Every structure is written in structure tokens, then in C-alpha cells.
Amino acid sequence: MKRISVDMDGVIANVYSQFITMHAAEFGKILSAGDVDGKTEEAAFENARKYVTSPGFFRTAPVMEDAAEVMLKLNEHYKLFIVSAAMEFPTSLIEKQAWLNQHFPYIGWQQIVFCGSKEIIKADIMIDDHFKNLNYFTGETILFTQPHNKLADSLHHKRVNTWREIEKLLLPR
């Protein structure tokens, strides 16, 4: 059975929604897609680091549209692993695990990998929104579109914009 590594932030957890909400609360301005497209989170949101270290940031992130349903199907056809480079924000570990338990209860603790670098991950397919993770991966790579990578050439990675596209790409019809 093939193994799939799925990133958490920006792939199944809508952290951009969190950034936009927190930025609007702090500065009174809701940023549009044009304001953030092509920019790193830090460039788009001047207090991004403050936001990601705020209690509740990861725990209250919305689930990406259709992610829970498609992930359930993937879990039936693949060895599915959630892989998050969470060690940069160690206070996020408990929030991320609680979030996964709530929104993806069919994902067991053995399927969750919190790490520092994803270079150690061995799977057949990796779904991620950051080139820094996909570029080192030796299997099939799928780039999940997010504002920070939207304007970049996807290079040798297959680009998807939605979980329905992932469903069509990876699940039998």
C-alpha cells in the first residue's frame, strides 16, 4: 500500500484564514488575495510570528474545504500520514494534536509526525504548500496552492488548488 505524507498548515488547516482574521482584528483592514499573493506569510502579515505563537492560533484554524471528506477516502486507500514541521513552534504541538483529533478522528496517533525538517520523510507521495519541503522529497510531489506559492512556477511538482482536485488525482473513480 502506498504512503502519502500530507502537510497540515496551509493544506488541511486554513492558516491563511487565521492570519487574515488576526491581521484585521489588529489593524482594522481585511487583506485581499492581491495583497498577499506571492508573498511569504511574514511579508504579507507583519505580525505573522506573533500570530502563530498566540494561544489558539493552530487550535482554532478552520479546516480546508473538502479536506476532511477526501482525507477519509485517502485513509482507506493509502497509508496516510500527517506530517508537520511543528518543532519551530513547540507550543503548537498540543494545539495541533487536539485539532487533528477533533477534525480528523480517523487519523490515529501513529499517523501523526511532528518534526523539524521534512527531509527525513519517506513516502510515495507528499502533499505540501512549501517548496522547501517538496524540493527534497524523492517521491511524487503535489503542491497545494496557497497565496505564498500562487505566483511561482510549480517546477516539477504537480499543482492542485482544491481537495477535490486531489480526490480526482489520487482516488479510484
Of 7, 37, 128, 153, the active-site residue reads 7
- For the sheet containing 140-144, what is the strand order? 112-114, 79-84, 3-6, 125-128, 140-144, 158-160
Question: Distance (Å, rounded) from C-alpha 78 to C-alpha 87?
Answer: 26
Evaluate whether 147 touches 48 at the Cβ level (below 8 Å). no
Element (H, E) at 165: helix 163-170
Q: Tabulate helix, strand, coil % of the chain (nearest 5).
A: 40, 15, 45
Cβ–Cβ contacts within 10 Å for residue 118, how many? 21
Can you give the pLDDT at residue 57?
Answer: 97
Q: Given this model, what pLDDT does residue 58 score?
A: 97
Q: Please, what's the b/e burial string for 79-106 (b: 16 or more CB within 10 A of its CB; e: otherwise)?
A: ebbbbbbbeebeebeebbbebbeebbee
**pLDDT value at residue 47:** 96
Q: Which amino acid, one-letter code, is at 38? A: G
Q: Does residue 9 have an active-site annotation?
A: yes
What superfamily does domain 3-13+62-170 belong to in CATH?
HAD superfamily/HAD-like (3.40.50.1000)
d(CA 113, CA 121): 9
7 is catalytic: yes
Local confidence pLDDT in tens for the 173 residues of the chain: 999 999 999 999 999 999 999 999 999 999 987 899 999 999 999 999 999 999 999 999 999 999 999 999 999 999 999 999 999 888 899 999 999 999 999 999 999 999 999 999 999 999 999 999 999 999 999 999 999 999 998 878 999 999 999 999 999 88
Catalytic residue among 9, 35, 37, 153: 9
Domain boundaries, the chain: 3-13+62-170, 15-52
pTM as predicted: 0.96
